Amino acid sequence: MRVALFITCFNDTLFPATGQAVVRVLERLGHEVVFPPDQTCCGQMHFNTGYQRECVPLVRSFVDTFADADVVVAPSASCVGMVRDFHGRVAEVSGDRGLAAAVAETAPRVHEFTEFLVDIAGVTDVGAYFPHRVTYHPTCHGLRLLKLGDRPQALLRAVEGIDLVDLPDATECCGFGGTFAVKNSDVSVAMGTDKVARVLATGAEVLTAADNSCLMHVGGLLSRSKSSVRVMHLAEILAGERG
C-alpha cells in the first residue's frame, strides 16, 4: 500500500526517531511510504488555545498537501483527532465552502499509526523484538476521540520479548493538555506527578504511548526526579528488531 506520512510538526522537530521508526515498520510490512514535503502543522495548538481564525490557513495547507493521498498515517493520536474531528469546524468558522468540502474529503483518510496497522493493514504482529518491561499509557485523545481501544496493546502484546505490564488508573489524563501545561502549569504538574507515581509503581523500564507530547510531559517529570524510566513512542518499540 502507498502510505503518505504526516509526521506532525512536533515529531518532525523534536522526535525524528519516532518518524524513522514509523517508516521502518511500514516498509518492513511491505508498504511504500511517501513524505509530502509541503506539510507543516495540523493547527491543533492554535485551535485548542482559542485561535481558530489563525488556524484556517493551516487547515487549508493541510488539505492541499494531502489532497492526492489515499491513506495518510500519523504517529500522533491528538493530531489525528484534530484533523478528523475539528478541521471541519475550522472550515465552518472560515465560511469557505470549498475548504469545508476539501476537509470532508481528506479528513476521513487520515489514520493514527496503530489504527492503520490494525484496521487497514490488518496486522497485530509486526515482527518486532523488544526485551524490556513496558507500561502503556492510553492518551486521552487516542482513548476518547479516536477510540483506539485495545489496538495499541494488541500490537505491543505481539512484540517478542516484551514484558507488558498494566498501568494503574491508566485512563486518567497525564495533565499535559497542550498549552494547559503552561497556562495551568501547577495543575498540570500535579496531575503528571500522580501519573509518574503510577508509572513507577509498575516497575517498568519504559513508558510508552501513541503521543510524544504527553510523553514529553511525563518524561520531563521523570527526568527531573532522576528516574531511570525512559519514555518512548510506541512506534519505536514496534520498530525494534533482534540484533
Partner 1 sequence: MTGTWLGMPPFPEAARKALGDTQLRTNLRKATGTIRGKRAAVVAERADWEALRVAGKEIKDRTLHNLDTYLEQLERNVTAAGGVVHWARDAAEANRIVIDLVRAADADEVVKVKSMATQEIELNEALAEAGIAAYETDLAELIVQLGHDRPSHILVPAIHRNRAEIRDIFLREMPGVTEALTDDPAELAAAARAHLRRKFLTAKVAVSGANFAVADSGTLVVVESEGNGRMCLTLPEVLISVVGIEKLVPTWQDLEVMLQLLPRSSTGERMNPYTSTWTGVTPGDGPREFHLILLDNGRTDALADDIGRQALRCIRCSACLNVCPVYERTGGHAYGSVYPGPIGAILTPQLRGVTADEVSPTLPFASTLCGACYEVCPVLIDIPQALVHLRAKAVDAKRGKPSAERAAMRVAQWFFGSSRRLRVAQRLVATGGRVLSRRGRIGRLPGPLKGWSGARDTATPPRRTFRTWWESR
Binding positions for partner 1, rule: CB under 8 A:
7, 9, 11-17, 19-20, 23, 35, 37-41, 43, 45-54, 57-58, 61, 86, 93, 140-141, 143-145, 171-173, 175-193, 216-217, 219-221, 223-224
- Do the Cβ atoms of 209 and 176 come closer than 8 Å? no
Q: Which is nearer to partner 1, 9 or 126 (CB)?
A: 9
CB of 67 to partner 1, least distance (A): 16
Cβ 76 to partner 1, closest distance in Å? 12
What gap in Å lies between CA 46 and CA 87, rounded to an integer?
Answer: 12
What is the nearest approach in angstroms of partner 1 to the Cβ of residue 143?
8
Q: Which is nearer to partner 1, 48 or 124 (CB)?
A: 48
CA-closest candidate to residue 176, choices 215, 129, 137? 215
Helices (H), the chain: 9-14, 16-28, 44-49, 52-65, 77-81, 87-94, 97-106, 113-115, 140, 151-157, 180-183, 185-202, 212-224, 234-238
- For partner 1, give the closer residue by CB, 107 or 164: 107
The smaller minimum CB distance to partner 1, of residues 37 and 122, is found at: 37
Which helix H or strand E contains 163, and what residues bound it? strand 163-165
Distance of CA 144 to the CA centre of its chain: 13
CB of 113 to partner 1, least distance (A): 14
